[in-house]
Chains A and B, each alone.
Chain A
């Protein structure tokens, strides 16, 4: 996608011959494992070990005080009948399925407007990028809590036009929307990835299309979109994985309870409440593995679907 990855593929192409590589093979093993040692320890102790442990715990009843007690599939059958969990899934799916496409659409739109070499591009880019650095912070969540409050900034502005806005955050029908807006607000980082991608599209395609008398819209549908599809796909996969794990914003905006009436009870928030509020560690582990399966399934679907719409130039 960049000079760096181009260079890297070049260096791989001009790299040493396979025979030489094989000779190097034996020589490097010891050095390699020494260099990898911190990472390997982390992989075993911090990542894979705890993963296996949490899989085990998901079949147990465990509250941190007594030793874990094997309960078989109990936690999973409990999940089937847990209405609050079903609601949290609905909330999370809404957040992901509305928030991610919306955010990417805005990111693409602004990237397109910015791309054709407008004066002041670095300035605009900074302005649009800043929110995505701040968006994950508690401070911005606090700001959001105020501006979408009953007498917050949004309603103050609406009042100037004689409109009485609802209490966006205290009303269950708009509270999730306010948090989705916060997600859309952070469109800056996918926008920068789009900008980098747009720059990779060879100008000659557009020139050829202009010669053929193609309209702006035709150029967008026939050139920009297909050429950009790998990047859209990349953004989509990353944003979906990330959005399923959103936590801070909903936690702060709702004061930690996912309210009003569970309308912002994200799956991760419910998991936190179960695990670290009620110390129902077995159930929390089962939920965590369920989340992993959901994210894995979404990513797999994304990859399968990509065969039908992602276009690779080479």
Chain B
């Protein structure tokens, strides 16, 4: 921006100003006038228009299947294979009532199971990852470099390498068809991604705050609970939201550990639904799919800010 300061004051642009010039005729005009070309401004507007067109078409194609699934779930069953459009003649809630009670338990039962696993996983991740992150970000200890490296490596470790022995371990202690195999690993900070995310965040908190607390006689537990935790709420929120979505969607773990329909979480219940359905009940299958996506969608709506920040800073998928 230093170059710009040599320009006359009227042409100085705030950092974000440069980004909106394409479709702000006034700002764009002023900038172009200095180069003495009015045609250029029209060009820029056409360019912006073309960009909007590209984005709307791409976005439309991407979202269309989801919208179509919502609409189709509100249609009589046979129309799903005949009607590619989004027009609704009447609202049919039959698919939802049918789907809700299509399996051995009402669908709410599986959602409750999922909720238990999700809440357990969130609590587990929040507690264990923040503790580990505090140690990595703030404490000096022997083996720190090694452990930190190992922690980063485990982020990339394929789950498959540990799943067989893990299954053997959990089945020997009688945990198959309980929620423990899905929750206990989170209590032990095995989602190292969140440890990394929190380490990054804690490093951004000024150390002077810790020092001040220490001078006041606070020990590490106190600094952690009273100084660091309250300041890392954004990182905790990001962790909560991602844990929610990933756990809610988790299929592989549930597929392996939950074989009793009583214990099914939503993804395995849906899978059982796909397997059991005769080719005629796509409507109710769609209906329950939408019910299953609804919590994720709501979290997305309200937690987007944290999601996007979380991805941009750590590159979580």
B partners with A? yes
Give the nearest-CB partner of B48 in chain A. A118
Given known contacts A24-B140, A245-B158, A285-B164, is B315 in contact with A235 (CB within 8 Å)? yes
Query: Given the complex, which residues of B lie within 8 Å of A138, measured CB to CB?
Result: 249, 251, 266-268, 270-271, 274, 289, 292
A139 near B270 with CB under 8 A, answer yes
Q: Is A108 an interface residue (CB 8 A)?
A: no
Given A1-B312, A129-B308 in contact, is the A143-B289 Cβ separation under 8 Å?
Answer: yes
Determine if A85 is an interface residue (Cβ-Cβ < 8 Å).
no
The answer to whether B203 and A7 have CB atoms under 8 Å apart is: yes
B315 and A193 within 8 A (CB): yes
- Residues in A with CB closer than 8 Å to B21 are 117
Chain B positions within 8 Å of A, measured between CB atoms, are: 1-3, 15-16, 18-23, 48, 51-52, 54-55, 58-59, 62-63, 65-66, 68-69, 80-84, 127-129, 131-132, 134-136, 139-142, 144, 147, 150-151, 154, 156-169, 171, 184-185, 187-190, 195, 200-201, 203-207, 219-221, 224, 245-246, 249, 251-252, 255-256, 266-268, 270-271, 274-275, 282, 285-286, 289-290, 292-293, 296-297, 300, 304, 307-309, 311-313, 315-317
Known: A137-B296, A193-B312, A195-B312. A28 touches B141 (CB 8 A): yes
**Known contacts A28-B140, A118-B22, A146-B282: A252-B274 contact under CB 8 Å:** yes
Task: State whether A284 touches B59 (Cβ < 8 A).
Answer: no
Please provide the 5 A-B residue pairs with the shortest distance between their CB atoms, ordered closest to farther.
A117-B19, A42-B188, A8-B203, A139-B289, A32-B141
Cα A247 to Cα B249 in complex, Å, equals 12
Known A36-B147, A43-B154; judge A51-B161 contact (CB<8 A): yes
Chain B residues, CB < 8 A from A90: none
Could you list which residues of chain A lie within 8 angstroms of chain B, going by C-beta atoms? Answer: 1-5, 7-8, 11-12, 15-16, 21, 24-25, 28-29, 31-33, 35-39, 41-43, 45-47, 49-51, 53-54, 57, 64, 110, 113-120, 124-134, 136-140, 142-143, 145-147, 151-153, 156-157, 160, 185, 189, 192-193, 195-196, 203-204, 207, 234-235, 238-239, 241-242, 244-245, 247-248, 251-252, 255-256, 268, 271-272, 275-276, 281, 284-285, 287-289, 291-292, 295, 299
Structural contact, B315 and A248, CB atoms closer than 8 A: no
With a cutoff of 8 Å between Cβ atoms, the chain B residues found around residue A117 in the complex are: 16, 18-22
Q: Which of A120, A193, A291 has the most CB of B within 10 A?
A: A193
B316 — nearest CB in chain A belongs to which residue? A189
Which A residues are in CB contact (< 8 Å) with B251? Answer: 136-138, 247-248, 251-252
Q: Are B290 and A139 in contact (CB under 8 A)?
A: yes
Closest Cβ of chain B to A46, distance in Å, is 5
Q: Is the CB of B311 within 8 A of A189?
A: yes
In the bound complex, residues from chain B placing their C-beta under 8 Å from that of A185 are 62
Instruction: Determine whether the beta carbon of B207 is less than 8 Å from that of A11.
Output: yes
Complex Cα spacing A234 to B169, Å: 35
Q: How far does the Cβ of B222 sit from chain A's closest Cβ, in whole Å? A: 11
Per the bound structure, the CA–CA distance linking A39 and B199 in Å amounts to: 14
In Å, the complex CA distance between A153 and B268 comes to 25
Chain B residues within 8 Å of A152, by CB: 81
In the complex with contacts A29-B142, A138-B251, A295-B158, A46-B166 CB distance below 8 A: yes
A8 vs B133: C-alpha distance when bound (angstroms): 14
Q: How far is the CB of B303 from chain A (nearest CB, A)?
A: 10
Known pairs A42-B185, A134-B296; A126 contacts B22 (CB<8 A): no
Contact B55 A35 (CB under 8 A): no
Q: A35-B220, A248-B252, A292-B157 are in contact. List 7 more A-B contacts (CB 8 A).
A: A15-B207, A50-B163, A117-B19, A132-B317, A146-B286, A242-B317, A288-B163
Task: Name which residue of chain B comes closest to A247, CB basis.
Answer: B252
The verdict on A46 contacting B84 (CB below 8 Å), with A195-B312, A251-B251, A299-B156 known, is no
Whole-angstrom distance between the alpha carbons of A287 and B150 in the complex? 23
Chain B nearest Cβ from A96, distance in angstroms: 13
Residue of A nearest to B293 (CB): A139
Are A2 and B313 in contact (CB-based, < 8 A)? yes
Q: How far is the CB of A255 from chain B (nearest CB, A)?
A: 7
